[in-house]
């Protein structure tokens, strides 16, 4: 039996058609619900809906990774050259018969392809957003910079999705793919807030103090470091390197190989030399993520206290504490319950929610152009 080519573009038009069909649902919903609204209002709604679907896509991506379905279809963009597992049933059956516990099964193939369908639909929605922003740029007096960056970024995400498959779950690529999904959430959230600011009077925008803005940026940066470490834990399957808490392997400082654990460019399960990655290296990956998590939780608590006591933003403080508690609970569940699927997906969801929340607050804290923008009229257009 001939080996399947890693890239087979024969089903690409059918996949694009499926993505368009899926995207037509949200587009029709926004059009019907907001057909009498201004372009700015429709863009705000469509951006918010695309953000929601992208959040779902990030969670489904985590589900795909955690169910070992990333290679459910070993080629890209289709499945054995077909647009769905139905057309590839013979090839999938043969692969499953040859290796019953291998990466290719019917359920894994469907999970992988559904992820690709959703990703294509999100790409279509972002293309629509960029196109509408271009057509309405003069009327809305909005820059095209962020819509075009988002369009470029979703294309880049597609490329990383392809590399995830063709490079056989290469840890660095999979981690970058996760970070790219989080960055896509941030880009969409930024635009959603900008459109909302366009529809509100300038007096509605109250900037926090300089100290608070610096604190938000510091928290934002620390969060990205922790997400990268979490992605590295997941893609190297290092979650169960420590199965107890608060110690690891019964020790406060277990045997660890940091050099082996943080070799960035290497195959899954191997060191750069080609040797199998040792268990102390997996321990170093896990424990580093855990130690940084302590710092993140303390930083979240400190920022929540600052927002409540210094800025009078009690709702924002409660949101931070709630998300921090969620991450603590789901993170602990991954360890002591030995990585249950629900807890693992929920942990990714908590990180994604923190990205969305902090991006929104930072955008509101830096309302560039809002103070001098013309106020909207009754129809939502700038006067």
The closest of 174, 147, 182 to 353, measured between CA atoms, is: 182
Distance CA(114)–CA(107), nearest Å, equals: 11
pLDDT score, position 149: 97
CB atoms within 10 A of CB 140: 21
pLDDT score, position 321: 97
Contact 258, 283 (CB under 8 A): no
Measured over the CA atoms of residue 64, residue 68, residue 71 and residue 73, the dihedral's sign is: negative
Alpha carbon 16 to chain centroid, angstroms: 22
* Catalytic residue status for 267: no
pTM: 0.93
Instruction: Please state, in angstroms and as integers, the Cα–Cα distance from residue 165 to each residue in 161, 178, 262, 339, following that order.
Output: 7, 14, 22, 23
Contact 105, 147 (CB under 8 A): no
Q: Among the options 112, 136, 338, 371, which is catalytic?
A: 112
Q: pLDDT tens, position by position, for the chain (383 residues)?
A: 456 789 999 999 999 999 999 999 999 988 888 888 888 888 999 999 999 999 999 999 999 999 999 999 999 999 999 999 999 999 999 999 999 989 999 999 999 999 999 999 999 999 999 999 998 887 877 788 999 999 999 999 999 999 999 999 999 999 999 999 999 999 999 999 999 888 876 655 678 888 999 999 999 999 999 999 999 999 999 999 999 999 999 999 999 999 999 999 999 999 999 999 999 999 999 999 999 999 999 999 999 999 999 888 999 999 999 999 999 999 999 999 988 999 999 999 999 999 999 999 999 998 765 433 344 444 443 43
Query: Can you give the residue ranges of every domain in the chain?
Result: 1-205, 207-366
């Amino acid at each position: 039996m001939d080996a399947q080519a890693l890239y087979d573009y024969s089903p690409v038009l059918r996949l694009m058609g499926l993505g368009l069909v899926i995207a037509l649902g949200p587009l029709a919903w926004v059009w019907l619900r907001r057909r009498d609204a201004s372009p700015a209002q429709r863009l705000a709604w469509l951006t918010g809906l695309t953000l929601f679907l992208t959040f779902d896509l990030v969670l489904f991506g985590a589900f795909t990774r955690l169910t070992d379905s990333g290679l459910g279809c070993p080629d890209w963009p289709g499945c054995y050259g077909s647009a769905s597992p139905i057309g590839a049933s013979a090839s999938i059956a043969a692969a499953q018969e040859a290796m019953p516990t291998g990466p290719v099964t019917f359920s894994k193939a469907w999970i992988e392809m559904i992820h690709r369908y959703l990703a294509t639909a999100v790409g279509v929605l972002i293309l629509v957003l960029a196109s509408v922003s271009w057509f309405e740029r003069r009327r809305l007096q909005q820059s095209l910079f962020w819509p075009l960056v988002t369009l470029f970024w979703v294309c880049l995400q597609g490329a990383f999705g392809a590399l995830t498959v063709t490079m056989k779950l290469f840890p660095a690529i999979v981690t970058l793919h996760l970070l790219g999904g989080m960055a896509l959430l941030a880009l969409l959230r930024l635009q959603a807030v900008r459109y909302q600011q366009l529809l509100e009077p300038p007096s509605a925008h109250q900037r926090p103090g300089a100290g608070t803005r610096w604190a938000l940026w510091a928290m934002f940066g620390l969060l990205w470091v922790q997400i990268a470490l979490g992605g590295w834990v997941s893609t190297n399957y290092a979650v169960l390197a420590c199965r107890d808490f608060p110690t690891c392997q019964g020790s406060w400082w277990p045997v660890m190989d940091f050099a082996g654990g943080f070799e960035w460019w290497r195959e899954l399960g191997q060191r750069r030399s080609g040797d199998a990655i040792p268990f102390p290296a997996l321990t170093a990956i896990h424990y580093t993520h855990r130690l940084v998590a302590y710092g993140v939780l303390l930083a979240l608590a400190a920022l929540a206290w600052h927002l409540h006591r210094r800025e009078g933003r009690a709702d924002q403080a409660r949101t931070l504490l709630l998300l921090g508690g969620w991450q603590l609970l789901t993170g602990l569940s991954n360890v002591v319950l030995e990585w249950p699927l629900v807890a693992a997906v929920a942990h990714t969801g908590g990180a994604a929610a923190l990205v969305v929340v902090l991006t929104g607050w930072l955008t509101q804290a830096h309302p560039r152009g809002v103070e001098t923008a013309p106020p909207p009229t009754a129809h939502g257009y700038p006067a």
